[in-house]
Structure 1
Amino acid sequence: MARTTDAPPSPLKVAGASFIGTTIEWYDYYIFGTAAVLIFNTQFFPNLDPLAGTLAAFATFAVAFIARPFGGAFFGHFGDRIGRKKMLVWSVLCMGLGTLVVGFLPTYAQIGIWAPLLLVICRFLQGFAVGGEWGGAVLMSLEHAPANKRAFYASFPQAGVPAGTVLSAGTFALLTLMPDEDFNAWGWRIPFLASVILVAIGLYIRLKVTESPEFLAVKESNQTPKVPVWDVLKFHKWALIVGMMCGFAPNIVFYIATVFMVKYGPTDLGIDSNVIFVAMMIAASIQVVSMPYIATFADKTSKRRLLLIGCVIVALGAFPVFWLFNIGTFWSILAALLIALPIMHAVSYGAISGFTAELFPARVRYTGTSLAYQLGGIITSAPVPIIATLLLAETGTFAAVAGYMIVAAALGFVFIFFAPKGHKAIATNDTARVDEFAQ
């Protein structure tokens, strides 16, 4: 097959496109989590007591994490066989559909039990889309990047996580200014319906991005696997396990800060939810910048070392974050979230994309990276709001939740410390790449 003579796009352009697309996907994903805290318990589970309704809403939120590995396997299979770009286009369409339908769903009062069932189906579709989104966006950035800046460029899709949080928190910060009756009746639907505009933007950007040069090299050498997931399970089991568990520290921090505390503040401390949203917007905005900056240190030293430092920072910061948050003033809440997001989460999460991707060779990298991240999410992300809520209810103190964060950070440290050497692609004298083992 003849190689194209067109000049490849700059790594920054590809990473920027991945960032914008991922921001839109995570906005769609997180508005559901925020709505689960604020509205879904009363609109879709009104017959349950407040605690049970909250847990049911969080369970609906967690359904996406069950769907994500299926999406990772599906999109990863075709991403390793026919290309990264095509799958990213389909992932944004899938996410847009699931989000838009939520905006039109009747409530429990209108159609009874069908309302929460349809809500679960929509959430499953969102999770299925994210399952293919993260791995593909990371690989497009990583595989277009020069060898000495792979962690930096791979962190751009990671920065889409706080950027999506900013959009989600900002949207609900505005909507909570509405009269409660209007917000409960129809206002909560606005973020879901408005997502169709963002999805259109994301689709346009995805169609403009060129295919990964490393995938093209694999395809031209006839090394595309027939069943990528089988290759991963057969030859890369330990890499898969490490990829699943390395997210313990950052995922616990993120979902404690952005989901659990949104409920904990108003319900247990009497804090206005709008105060939390504004503080979260500021902290997440700073994290959009801090995460790529911190990732540059992984390129200078190693991704493993930075992630280990991140686990230690999460363990040390668990109690201070709650102490500050519990003071209850705007500035103390902002300080707590500044520690949690642009510091604790950024350091422990910024290099995970490059670290996880390089655990697998290019021929099965989409499948391996996606499965590792999404299967890990079932353990390290999905239960976080539920476990934190139960720990607080059972013990009556935030100390149990902070202890949960410390244990998670310790587990993540162990798995990262004993991680296998990864496959790192080194640029040759043309656009092809070859796999070598990296420290």
Structure 2
Amino acid sequence: MTLNPHSPSTAGPEAHTDIPVVTTKDLRKAAWGASVGSALEYYDFALYSLASALVFGPLFFPSENASTGLVLSFATYFIGFAVRPLGGVFFGRLGDRLGRKFVLMATIIMMGVASTCIGLLPTYHGSEGDWYSGGVGMLAPILLILLRIVQGLGAGAEMAGASILMTEYSPPNKRGFYASLPFLGVQVGTVTAALVYFLVYRGHSEITDTWLWRVPFLASVVILGVAMYLRVNLKESPTFKKLEVRDQIDERPLHNLLAHSRPSLLRGIGLRLAENGSSSMYQALAVAYVTSAAVGIKGPIGALSLVFAASLGAIVIPIAGKLSDRFGRVRTYRAFAYFQLVSAFPIWWALSQGSVVLTIVVISLALGIGTWGMFGSQSAFMCELFGSRQRYLGVSVAREISAVLSGGIAPLIGAWIIAMVVATDGGPDVPGAGLGSWVFIAGYLCILTLITIGTTYITPDPINRDLDDPRDAIAADRS
């Protein structure tokens, strides 16, 4: 069966033999290739989130003050986000000049190798129960930071490439649904990371004294192998092939992006602040908060919460994609953002109650509906905002700048808030110190969400637009 991934208005006289067509088999292969790569990225993402909250502090940043170790641990988490725009610019330019497939192969290798190598690192002090019993001091956090940078550079263009590939492959009236499918890989990666951590933690509460904390990172090599196999056999995106055939490749994508697409970039950044910020806060900061001395929940609560949340997200994401096809990108995205806004304070209050069941329920609702509802309706939305010639670069830069401004810095700010409230309450030795920090954290999340909601009111709905159009959706809407 042959599909038409571009607008009917451009399919007529130009649809000659050198313009590629998309079959159902091609669409299926693209979905698998994009989804497994997304699974690896978010396996790494969830893995690093959990490790930052639970093990990196004592292993790489030992301190007499647990809050200080937590802040330093989340600082390395932030570094990975800080370099993502650089990766987005570098690989985004290549994606618009050399093709989507080339970049997707390069980024998946960088991320997979970096994550696997984290599992081989020596630690600050070492441990008799570890494979490397001797510590290497400051070299340990330096190596962790370097690998986090490599991981961040690769991630800077990975998700953008996966979403662009599927959006450019999909038929217009089902673009939201098909473009959301790679984001199911996000749930698979998140659930896999959480389950691995849960199994490793089970019966080993002092995991930092053993080599078991390395197992989840070493397992990255398995997903990497599968993703590389699937992507080697992918065809290039139809839209990029048309640019090649028509000799329309932009040799200066960054220059032209900054010259003509700044309104689209700003809207893309604004749209992602709520989704990316909440994702990091609920996957990383919330876990650190509920397992802190103030709340006092013990055991693998973070891993269990992510398993349930990602399972719910796997249902919500394709539904959100279909809703965006039916009701429009803007209205669907805004609805999920409003859910996040009204639920922020109740959810963070619930996290402060110290109930295991309540914690699992509210994190599942926060991530599974609010965060990943926006995520599921975002893929086609972001891609349709940009014109064909700078689409990869535009989506990459918008995604990754927002990742720094919200996703990377949010847990760091949250950890700092917790540390400040703990100090105000009399220090970590005072029972319940830092418990009230949830109010400020929820307030910060609401600020990010309000910015996103405001952005939806100044963004035209690009649903079903012609992806071969070199103009951005905003320029096309004004003409």
Scaled to the shorter chain, the TM-score interval is over 0.9
Q: Is the 8 A contact 2:170 2:178 kept in 1?
A: yes
Unmatched runs of 5 consecutive residues or more in structure 1: 428-432
What is the letter of the counterpart of residue 317 of structure 2? M
Output the CA distance in 1 between the equivalents of 2:360 and 2:49. Answer: 20
Deviation at 1:392, TM superposition (A): 3.1
Match of 2:439 among 382, 395, 399: 399
Q: Partner of 2:466: helix, strand, or coil?
A: strand
TM-score computed with the length of structure 1 as normaliser: 0.93
Output the CA distance in 1 between the equivalents of 2:153 and 2:215. Answer: 23
What is the letter of the counterpart of residue 213 of structure 1? P
Aligned to 2:167: 142
Aligned to 1:261: 286
Q: Which moved more, 1:34-43 or 1:273-282?
A: 273-282
Q: Partner of 1:257: helix, strand, or coil?
A: helix
Output the CA distance in 1 between the equivalents of 2:252 and 2:370. Answer: 38
Deviation track 1:71-108 (CA, whole Å, cap 9, x = no partner) reads 11111111111110111111111111111211111111
Does 1:22 find its partner at 2:3?
Answer: no
Q: What are the residue-to-residue correspondences of 1:38-437 with 2, within 5 Å?
A: 38-47=54-63, 49-109=65-125, 110-181=135-206, 183-267=208-292, 268-395=294-421, 396=434, 397=436, 398-420=438-460, 422=462, 425-426=465-466, 433-434=468-469, 437=473
Deviation at 1:179, TM superposition (A): 2.7
Deviation track 1:320-339 (CA, whole Å, cap 9, x = no partner) reads 21233333333312220232
Deviation at 1:416, TM superposition (A): 2.3
Deviation at 1:190, TM superposition (A): 0.7
Q: Could you say if the C-alpha distance between residues 434 and 234 of structure 1 is closer, same or farther in structure 2, counting changes exceeding 3 Å?
A: closer
Output the CA distance in 2 between the equivalents of 1:72 and 1:173. Answer: 32
Deviation track 1:329-355 (CA, whole Å, cap 9, x = no partner) reads 333122202320221112222222222
Deviation track 1:108-153 (CA, whole Å, cap 9, x = no partner) reads 1222111111110100001111111011100111000000111111
Q: Which moved more, 1:259-268 or 1:119-128?
A: 259-268
Q: Could you say if the C-alpha distance between residues 156 and 330 of structure 1 is closer, same or farther in structure 2, counting changes exceeding 3 Å?
A: same
Deviation track 1:200-232 (CA, whole Å, cap 9, x = no partner) reads 011111112211101111111111111211111
Output the CA distance in 1 between the equivalents of 2:398 and 2:26. Answer: 28
Q: Which moved more, 1:309-318 or 1:276-285?
A: 276-285
Deviation at 1:6, TM superposition (A): 8.3
Q: Could you say if the C-alpha distance between residues 194 and 26 of structure 1 is closer, same or farther in structure 2, counting changes exceeding 3 Å?
A: same
Q: Percent identity?
A: 30
Q: Could you say if the C-alpha distance between residues 189 and 424 of structure 1 is closer, same or farther in structure 2, counting changes exceeding 3 Å?
A: same
- Larger gyration radius, structure 1 or structure 2: 2
Q: Which moved more, 1:123-132 or 1:182-191?
A: 182-191
Q: Is the 8 A contact 1:76 1:132 kept in 2?
A: yes
Q: Could you say if the C-alpha distance between residues 384 and 12 of structure 1 is closer, same or farther in structure 2, counting changes exceeding 3 Å?
A: same
Aligned to 1:430: none
Unmatched runs of 5 consecutive residues or more in structure 2: 1-16, 126-134, 422-433
Output the CA distance in 2 between the equivalents of 1:162 and 1:213. Answer: 27
Output the CA distance in 2 between the equivalents of 1:197 and 1:280. Answer: 21
Q: Is the 8 A contact 1:317 1:339 kept in 2?
A: no
Output the CA distance in 1 between the equivalents of 2:252 and 2:211. Answer: 46
Give the number of the structure whose residues are more often helix, by fraction.
Answer: 1
Q: Could you say if the C-alpha distance between residues 172 and 6 of structure 1 is closer, same or farther in structure 2, counting changes exceeding 3 Å?
A: closer
Q: Could you say if the C-alpha distance between residues 308 and 423 of structure 1 is closer, same or farther in structure 2, counting changes exceeding 3 Å?
A: closer
Output the CA distance in 2 between the equivalents of 1:70 and 1:281. Answer: 31
What is the letter of the counterpart of residue 78 of structure 2? A
What is the letter of the counterpart of residue 284 of structure 1? A
Deviation track 1:251-298 (CA, whole Å, cap 9, x = no partner) reads 222112110111111112111241332132012112112111122111
Does 1:9 find its partner at 2:25?
Answer: yes
